[in-house]
Structure 1
Amino acid sequence: MSEATTEVRQFTVGEDDDGIRVDRWFKRHMPDTSFNLVSRWARTGQLRVDGARATPGDRLTVGQVLRVPPAEAPKAATARPKLNRPTLSEDQIAFARELVIHKDASAIVINKPPGLATQGGTKTHEHVDGLLDALQYELEGRPKLVHRLDKDTSGALLLARTSRAAAYFAKSFSGRTARKLYWALVVGVPEVEDGFIDLPIAKQPGTGGEKMHVDMEEGQAARTRYRVIEQAGARTAWVELQPHTGRTHQLRVHMAAIGHPIVGDGKYGLQDAFLTGGISRKMHLHARRIRIDHPDGGKLDATAELPHHFAESMATLGFDLSLGEQLPMDEPPPPTKALLKQRAKAHAKTVRKERRGERRSRGRK
């Protein structure tokens, strides 16, 4: 805004914002309003919920009315220019919608093709994030990314259609209750057909953080379950991979660390990662399936078909795709004592806030 708004503003809390903190509401709906300004409005009694004074830490309930004082004109030196996203072409919109393999009121799952980055960066201009305007459909807001896949990894990528769903899915990923299953072709055949790799991972020095490596002293815990589904002699194996943690490049680093790099992954397998005989040099790592609790109840369970180069390699090597459907997906590990303690503290904090809110409500009657 170039000029200050002189009128008091009132906003009714929608279902998507039920339970959100006041300061988070401003960050979501009025990102140009600083936390310091919100705090000042609260201290001076200008910020109110249903007529009562509010603080930045109060939680909002659907149907409540938030009173916001007149806006202040930002200083010219500190005002941030709004970033305008380029308008998508009809071809881009059609391309994005062709990727959708699941859509409901809260979530979308796309089958990301190899070579398409999840987010932009230096010299990366084509990415999923840049296509999200095409996936709004009947809703006003664009979908939100809740996890990532490497540029050269294909497969199931979950998008949240609302802020409430994004927060719910984020908790599932951070709490390790979401399950992801990958298919990969690896060089050689692991001696142990059903194994568990537990090797900590850290950024490799001197690579600018673009490459990871196993670091037994400084690395973060990383655990991967793998199972050999089928093999083509001693040349290559088709494996199922289930990450139990979500470290950067985890599956690629782990398979290379046990001497069986993913086919086409020259970054971690170097020249040993490529096969002859007409097998594509693209990376053969595919997020085949994702299963996660749904914010509206039940579970979201989506399966993504293999990209062309991967399917072609499977046919060339004579692998039977039906064998991969017979293996069960791991259940989430039981919560640790530390996680249970963290959840109990969060629950107690929520109860205390609800009781404070009840006392404030009684005081307004």
Structure 2
Amino acid sequence: MQDEVRVAVLPAGEERLDRALARAWPDLSRSRLQKLIKDGHVRLDGSVVGDSSLRPAEGAEATLVEPAPEPAAPAAQAIPLAVVYEDEEVIVIDKPAGLVVHPGAGHGSGTLVNALLAHCGASLSGIGGVARPGIVHRLDKDTSGLLVVAKTDRAHRSLAAQFADHGRTGALERAYLAFAWGVPEPRRGTVDVPLARSPSHREKIAVTSSERGRHAITHYAVEEVFGDGAGEALASLVRCRLETGRTHQIRVHLAHLRHPVVGDALYGAGFRTKVSRLGEEAASRVAELGRQALHAALLQFEHPASGEILRFESGLPPDLAALHAALRAGLE
């Protein structure tokens, strides 16, 4: 949210500044205006004033820069967490699909942060700010898998540096498993195309050639191919390793290859007609997903305090495991 700027020309009279402003902006209480004046948010004819009792001259122009409201501190909520590892510095969570990482528009509660506040109490790094304590990286709401959270400021700084480096010189490694439509060719390769917010769809990220694009690299390898029993490849299991960490990166890069993630309504809507060709069981599993078939399966990083290399792997969650089994059955 941005600061709001208000301007009013004050009428003649002997009123105090706070009273005159209350008449100009009746939606603001005098007590609120007095605090805004005291905090230096009000100017008269361009000069900051700090005295509510000041009596402005006739025709003086008052300008108020009302600061955007600060986000409320999230409340602790007893939401079950799958804790993979925890010590005094970090906590590693296996996040289920459907869980938002931190509060934001439309998600004021019921997030991972709310759950962490209940689980960890006050022992979360404050570097991320009020709404994102300890959060170093994120997973999309409907992406499941491994995520590390900083419990100390030292851990936050170390992990942030590792994620910024993306494993180029350090130990950080992240890999995802994605069920994709069709089979990418070649079956092992690298997608190196910049990404930016779509100018036509505010929720989407798009491949771009403009200067506003951010560098994005995804390495992929096809691990398994699923057919229809007649030899036609309909879907594949693809392992993706991130060299950068942009919003929706894997989803956009696979869609760019024309092999979007199964179940991805945002980037793979044009592939919905292919569901019926998977066979009854697999089609049923896709319909039940209600999300993109994407899972953060591997997370490796250097421990912020000990320097030990910590490596965690997460198997497919039940919904994706059921899809996997159904796709394999279609080969028999």
Interval of TM-score (by shorter of Structure 1 and Structure 2): 0.5 to 0.7
Displacement of 1:82 after TM fit? Answer: 9.2
- Stretches of structure 2 that go unaligned for 5 or more consecutive residues are 1-33, 40-68, 126-132, 228-232, 277-282
Name 1:164's counterpart in structure 2: 154
Give CA-to-partner distance per residue, 1:306-345, whole Å, 9 cap, x none. Answer: 22210100111128xxxxxxxxxxxxxxxxxxxxxxxxxx
Give CA-to-partner distance per residue, 1:101-156, whole Å, 9 cap, x none. Answer: 1112211110111111112222223211222212316x744661110001111100
Aligned to 2:285, the other structure's residue is in SS state coil
Alpha-carbon distance between aligned partners in 2 of 1:213 and 1:229, rounded to the nearest angstrom: 26
Alignment of 1:131-280 (within 5 A): 131-136=115-120, 140-141=123-124, 144-177=134-167, 178-208=172-202, 210-218=203-211, 219-233=213-227, 234-272=233-271, 275-276=275-276, 277-280=283-286
Alpha-carbon distance between aligned partners in 2 of 1:252 and 1:140, rounded to the nearest angstrom: 34
Match of residue 117, structure 1, among 97, 100, 107:
100
Normalised by the length of structure 2, the TM-score is 0.66
1:268 and 1:76, CA in 2 relative to 1: closer, same or farther beyond 3 A? same
Aligned to 1:167, the other structure's residue is in SS state helix
Alpha-carbon distance between aligned partners in 2 of 1:81 and 1:235, rounded to the nearest angstrom: 49
Alpha-carbon distance between aligned partners in 1 of 2:265 and 2:72, rounded to the nearest angstrom: 36
Normalised by the length of structure 1, the TM-score is 0.61
Say whether the 8 Å CA contact 2:98–2:143 is kept in structure 1. yes
Name 1:299's counterpart in structure 2: 309
1:150 and 1:268, CA in 2 relative to 1: closer, same or farther beyond 3 A? same
Name 2:88's counterpart in structure 1: 105
Aligned to 1:231, the other structure's residue is in SS state strand
Name 1:360's counterpart in structure 2: none
Displacement of 1:217 after TM fit? Answer: 2.7
Displacement of 1:84 after TM fit? Answer: 5.0
Displacement of 1:203 after TM fit? Answer: 1.0
Say whether the 8 Å CA contact 1:280–1:309 is kept in structure 2. no
Displacement of 1:305 after TM fit? Answer: 2.8
Q: Write the letter of the residue equivalent to 2:234.
A: R
Aligned to 2:312, the other structure's residue is in SS state strand
Structure 1 residue 86 corresponds to structure 2 residue 85: no
Say whether the 8 Å CA contact 1:199–1:214 is kept in structure 2. yes
Aligned to 1:262, the other structure's residue is in SS state coil
Q: Write the letter of the residue equivalent to 1:86.
A: A
Give CA-to-partner distance per residue, 1:196-220, whole Å, 9 cap, x none. Answer: 1111111110323x21111123322
Which of the pair is proportionally richer in strand?
2
Q: Write the letter of the residue equivalent to 1:302.
A: F
Which of the pair is proportionally richer in helix?
1
Name 2:57's counterpart in structure 1: none
Say whether the 8 Å CA contact 2:76–2:116 is kept in structure 1. no
Alpha-carbon distance between aligned partners in 1 of 2:183 and 2:70, rounded to the nearest angstrom: 55
1:141 and 1:172, CA in 2 relative to 1: closer, same or farther beyond 3 A? closer
Between Structure 1 and Structure 2, how many residues are aligned? 237
1:200 and 1:84, CA in 2 relative to 1: closer, same or farther beyond 3 A? closer
Displacement of 1:81 after TM fit? Answer: 8.3
Say whether the 8 Å CA contact 1:225–1:243 is kept in structure 2. yes
The structure with more radius of gyration? 2
The alignment yields a C-alpha RMSD, in angstroms, of 2.2
Alpha-carbon distance between aligned partners in 2 of 1:283 and 1:81, rounded to the nearest angstrom: 33
Q: Write the letter of the residue equivalent to 1:223.
A: I
Aligned to 1:165, the other structure's residue is in SS state helix
1:86 and 1:119, CA in 2 relative to 1: closer, same or farther beyond 3 A? closer
Q: Write the letter of the residue equivalent to 1:286.
A: H
Displacement of 1:304 after TM fit? Answer: 2.0
Say whether the 8 Å CA contact 1:154–1:285 is kept in structure 2. yes
Name 2:7's counterpart in structure 1: none
Say whether the 8 Å CA contact 1:111–1:305 is kept in structure 2. no
